[in-house]
């Protein structure tokens, strides 16, 4: 058997092979071990589902028995990715039997094959069932899109919780997942259009006229596999965000002012902001005030979250050092790390956000 493979097909075959490799590597990764099981499952399902599209349709027509191979896992891509995001954003979450129903629609991927096994050849006594069975496969894309929306909501919720609880969010903000969701949505909408158009046109005519479109989808899907695989493997361990026990406590304006004064006094005297791992729990222990009360005082009185409150101190600390001629020989990034920042990109973004100029411009303005 001789296969004629184009450059595009070769790239996508390499992407699928890469996806399988990373899927198994993720199972050995210590960080986010439980969440990575779902990402590994999502990658395997993406690779298997994509396999039939890598080769020409004539290949599958010649070897129709391959339809029974476990290639159709479209209905598992959405829930697998969703539970990855949910577990990653909430390490306390545990998958139980009650969640299994999310994976039950997998049978819809095989209704068409089952029908043709029972009624082989051109004999179709139940045309309506045959028609519905064919529709269920591309309809899985709608399922994927729904789960992507749910995943996006979980990421947004997690990011808000991060800003209320930690002072450094680099590597754990899951921003790459939001971009991944956008790419996945674009990819599967493109595939859905491809399937809808191809179902209404003769195979040969369609692939002769739409070959470039098909290649574009293959490359887009290949890029998506590389993106998800690499970023998923590089994802740092996410944190467990503690829930305040004082949920029903309301803080008055007078109490808020007292809390803010105490926070400012402690932050300046102990230089707590210089600790890059400073979080709401640590600050609560340092000042002897509940986490809930601190959050309400910051949000209600200063209209700031914990992340903004701490990093404002860090920016001011760098400003003071940059204005000191004795520090002119020190690198700006070194001063930023001493102030509690742990990311160059985050420091530059926040510094310009607070001062309106870059750190280098600020240094020039004040020292010449």
Q: Which of 327, 331, 330, 287 is nearest to 309 (CA)?
A: 287
pLDDT of 22 over the 70 cut: yes
Question: Looking at per-residue confidence, does 307 or 4 come out higher?
Answer: 307
Q: Where in the chain is the domain with CATH 1.20.1070?
A: 7-234
| Contact by Cβ (8 Å): 74, 109 | yes
In the chain, which segments carry CATH 1.10.10.60? 253-367
Distance (Å, rounded) from C-alpha 337 to C-alpha 347? Answer: 9
> Which position has the higher pLDDT, 53 or 238?
238
pLDDT tens profile 141-178: 889 999 999 999 999 999 999 999 999 998 899 999 99
Tell me which CATH code domain 7-234 carries. Answer: 1.20.1070
Q: What is the pTM of this model?
A: 0.84
Q: Alpha carbon 192 to chain centroid distance? A: 22
Beta bridge partners of 166: 279
Question: What Å distances lie between residue 143 and 1, 75, 78, 128, 189, CA to CA?
Answer: 37, 7, 7, 22, 12
The token pair that represents 36 in the structure block: 């990575």
Picking from 110, 97, 193, the residue whose alpha carbon sits closest to that of residue 145 is 193
For the domain made up of 253-367, the CATH class stated in words is mainly alpha
User: What does 334-364 look like in DSSP terms, one character per residue?
Assistant: HHHHHHT---HHHHHHHHHHHHSS-HHHHHH
The model's pLDDT over 187-245, given as tens digits with 9 standing for 90+, comes to 888 877 776 776 554 444 444 555 677 778 888 888 889 999 999 999 989 988 766 54
Instruction: With H, G, I as helix, E, B as strand and everything else as coil, classify residue 328.
Output: coil
Residue 146: the pLDDT is 95
Question: Looking at residue 327, what is its pLDDT?
Answer: 87
pLDDT tens digits for range 109-153: 777 666 666 666 565 666 666 666 667 777 788 899 999 999 999
d(CA 253, CA 274): 29
- pLDDT, one tens digit per residue, over 59-100 is 656 666 565 555 678 889 999 999 999 999 998 899 999 999
Angle 197-149-28 from CA coordinates, rounded to 5°: 100
CA 15 to mean position of chain CA atoms = 19
Task: Give 245-278 pLDDT, tens digit per residue.
Answer: 444 456 778 888 999 999 999 999 999 999 999 9
Length of the chain: 368
Q: Which token pair is 97?
A: 């039997």
């Amino acid at each position: 058997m001789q296969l004629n493979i184009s450059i595009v097909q070769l790239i996508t075959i390499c992407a699928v092979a890469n996806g399988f490799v990373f899927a198994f590597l993720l199972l050995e990764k210590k960080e986010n071990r439980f969440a990575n099981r779902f990402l590994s499952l999502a990658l395997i399902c993406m690779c298997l589902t994509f396999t039939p599209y890598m080769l020409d349709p004539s290949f599958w027509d010649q070897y129709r028995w391959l339809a029974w191979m476990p290639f159709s896992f479209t209905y598992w891509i959405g829930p697998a990715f969703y539970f990855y995001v949910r577990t990653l954003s909430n390490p306390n979450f545990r998958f139980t039997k009650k969640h299994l129903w999310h994976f039950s629609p997998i049978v819809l991927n095989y209704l068409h094959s089952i029908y043709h096994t029972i009624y082989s050849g051109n004999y179709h006594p139940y045309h309506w069932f045959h028609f519905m069975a064919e529709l269920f496969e591309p309809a899985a894309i709608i399922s994927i899109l729904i789960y992507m929306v749910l995943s996006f909501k979980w990421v947004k919720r997690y990011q808000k919780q991060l800003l209320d609880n930690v002072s450094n969010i680099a590597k754990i903000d899951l921003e790459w997942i939001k971009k991944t969701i956008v790419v996945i949505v674009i990819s599967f909408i493109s595939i859905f259009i491809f399937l809808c158009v191809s179902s209404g046109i003769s195979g040969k005519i369609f692939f002769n006229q739409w070959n470039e479109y098909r290649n574009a989808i293959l490359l887009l899907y290949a890029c998506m596999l590389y993106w998800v695989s690499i970023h998923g493997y590089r994802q740092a361990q996410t944190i467990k965000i503690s829930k305040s026990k004082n949920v029903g406590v309301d803080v008055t304006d007078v109490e808020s002012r007292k809390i803010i004064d105490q926070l400012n006094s402690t932050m300046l005297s102990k230089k707590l902001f210089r600790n890059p791992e400073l979080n709401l729990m640590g600050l609560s222990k340092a000042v002897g005030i509940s986490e809930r009360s601190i959050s309400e005082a910051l949000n209600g009185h200063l209209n700031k979250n914990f992340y903004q409150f701490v990093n404002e101190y860090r920016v001011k600390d760098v400003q003071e050092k940059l204005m000191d001629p004795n520090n002119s020989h020190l690198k700006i990034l070194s001063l930023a790390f001493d102030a509690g920042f742990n990311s160059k990109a985050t420091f530059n973004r926040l510094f310009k956000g607070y001062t309106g100029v870059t750190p280098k411009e600020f240094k020039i303005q004040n020292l010449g």
